[in-house]
Amino acid sequence: MIVYDYLLKTRNLKGAGFLVLIDPDRVDPDHLVPFVEQSVEAGVDAFLVGTSLLTDANASEIITTIKKTSEIPAIIFPGSWRQIAPEADAILYLSLISGRNPDYLISEQVKGAPAVKACGIEAIPTGYMLIDSGKRTSVEFMSSTLPIPRDKSDIAKVHALAGEYLGMKLIYLEAGSGAIESVPDKMVEEVTNYITCPVIVGGGIDSPEEAHSKVISGAPFVVVGNHFEKGSSRELLSQFAEAVHVRSSAGVEL
């Protein structure tokens, strides 16, 4: 399975893909298996596994459990090069293109490249862009980078376009986990209209209605994590999945 192709097929068939973030630092190990089972039943399209940009949590155990429990792709969403795990199906090979810190533009990626090659997992080049969420985030502080202001869609557009021209296969618009304000719909719309590269939107999305509005604004992929850490159920996951799958809820062949 080529995970990138699976994601594109998912977007084409369902209208948009619903990705659930599992944070190894915060997941309750006793709840992981039921949560994965509920996610399968609800129609979640892929799991992202990772933690905030700069910590070193070990994702291997979590990914092993996900893979034993489901066939849904498990994609590493790394906070640092140490989070690379051979059990995963793919890794979002992030470069923090909204920032000007060489550590997160290229240094972490150089350190991680041999490990990804040794694991043989699929690397999906992803331009990672921080968008101001109304409050200072840990990624912003730790990476010493400034987020793009919420009302400056033009700045977001040209960063995304530069990422596309550099060969990124995904652009991730990130408000930060648990953000008070998610990425503005207007910015999602303007960026997705401006580039051809598929866009992921995440951070602070805490209702099915909010997830739906990102898709209606043009987002091909929506990520939700923090909201399910406060409590989840098959019903809640289904409500989100239905809100994101605006075209069809049919399964996509792996």
What residues line the site for ligand 1GP (CB under 6 A)?
Answer: 21, 174, 177-179, 202-205, 223-227
Q: Give the residues across from 173 on adjacent strands.
A: 129, 201
Closer residue to ligand 1GP in complex, CB, 112/202? 202
* Cβ-count burial 150-188 (b if 16+ within 10 Å, e if not): beebeebbebbbebbeeebbbbbbbbbbbbeebbbbebb
Q: Token match 């043009």: residue?
A: 218
* Least distance (Å) between residue 177 CB and ligand 1GP: 4
Q: Taking the complex as a whole, how short is the minimal distance between the CB of residue 115 and ligand 1GP, in angstroms?
A: 21
Q: Which is nearer to ligand 1GP, 36 or 223 (CB)?
A: 223
Whether residue 209 contacts residue 240, with contact meaning beta carbons closer than 8 Å, is answered with: no
Judged by beta carbon, residue 230 or residue 253, the one nearer ligand 1GP is 230
Of the pair 13, 142, the CB lying nearest ligand 1GP is at 142
Shortest Cβ 56–ligand 1GP spacing (Å): 16
Position with the least CB separation from ligand 1GP: 202
Q: Which of 218, 210, 206, 52 lies closest to 137, judged by CA?
A: 52
Instruction: Between 127 and 225, name the residue whose CB sits nearer to ligand 1GP.
Output: 225
In whole angstroms, the minimum distance from the beta carbon of 250 to ligand 1GP comes to 25
Nearest 5°: CA angle at 241, between 221 and 150? 45
* Helices 185-194 and 153-165, axial angle in degrees (round to 10): 40
Min dist CB 210 to ligand 1GP, Å, is 10
CA dihedral sign of residues 100, 102, 104, 106 = positive
